[in-house]
Amino acid sequence: MSAIKIGVIGGSGVYKIEGIEVVREHTVLTPFGKPSSEIIEAKLNGVSFFFLPRHGKHHSFTPSDLNYRANIFALKELGVEYLISVSAVGSLKEEFPPTTFVLVDQFIDWTKGKRERTFFNNGFVGHVSVADPIEKELQQMMVEVCKEVGVKHGVGGSYICIEGPQFSSKAESNIYRSFGASVIGMTNVPEAYLAKEAGMAYATIAMVTDYDCWKEEHCTLEEIMKVMATNNQQVHAVLKKLIPKLHANPFKFKKENTFAVLSKPEVMSADQQRMLDVLMK
């Protein structure tokens, strides 16, 4: 396995990172099938990292169709320990207007049970705490870089994940606001929880595109696309500083999966043994 420990998952509109040197593409077949695309090995200012466009290179997968387990497993098998997630979201709070980056620290799962959300099933049993799904040190690095590049940002709050692909009704949006959630998206669950099961340090940059539909404010697709263009320009600036900073300042973190597995290795199938070896390394 490579010595590359940094991975980036790009969401809507973030299908590539400007100014990077693409070294090669890795095709990884996991016990769960194929990830969204080949994993891109790239360099930025001499620092190597892996990049995966969450929805595929041509945005071919809806949030419900994503193979979350294959995405996380493939990155972990390649050696990723620190995982940066980039996602487009709607804001549920007045103080987080469009173009704000919200560095959340919690998630609420409001999906419909259609997604495979754990590596542990079919005789391979484990229990991992997701009480603190965001790795605080990685989140703090994101805060520092946002300050350095002058990106408007908020720290903390909850990301509520809905099934999609439809957006919320106004009634639903107001229910989510009553929960105290800060932003709404469609992809970070089960992604964040699977990263915990895989023993990764995970944190997300939630880029606000609009106010969902709770606010009586007309917003055209053209306006949203302009916001996304601004967000993408800003996140490129953040990543260009964050990746080298993380490479120069790796940190130790508690792997919540260390004592998670209850099943005995001697009764596992070959695929389960591979899963154990990859997830626990």
Of the candidate ranges 39-48, 125-134, 174-183, the one whose mean pLDDT is the lowest: 39-48
Instruction: Locate 222 and state its tokens.
Output: 């053209």
Is the full-model pTM beyond 0.85? yes
Around Cβ 163, how many Cβ atoms within 10 Å?
15
Query: In DSSP terms, which residues pair with 185 in a beta bridge?
Result: 161
Contact 200, 119 (CB under 8 A): no
Give the integer Cα–Cα distance in Å for 30 and 274: 9
Residue 98 carries which DSSP code?
Answer: T
Domains of the chain: 6-275 (3.40.50.1580)
- To the query of whether residue 212 is one of the catalytic residues in this protein, the response is yes
pLDDT tens, 156-169?
A: 999 999 999 999 99
Query: In DSSP terms, which residues pair with 39 in a beta bridge?
Result: 26
- To the query of whether residue 105 is one of the catalytic residues in this protein, the response is no
The one catalytic residue among 105, 109, 132, 210: 210
Position 216 confidence tier, pLDDT thresholds 50, 70, 90: confident
pLDDT of residue 13: 59
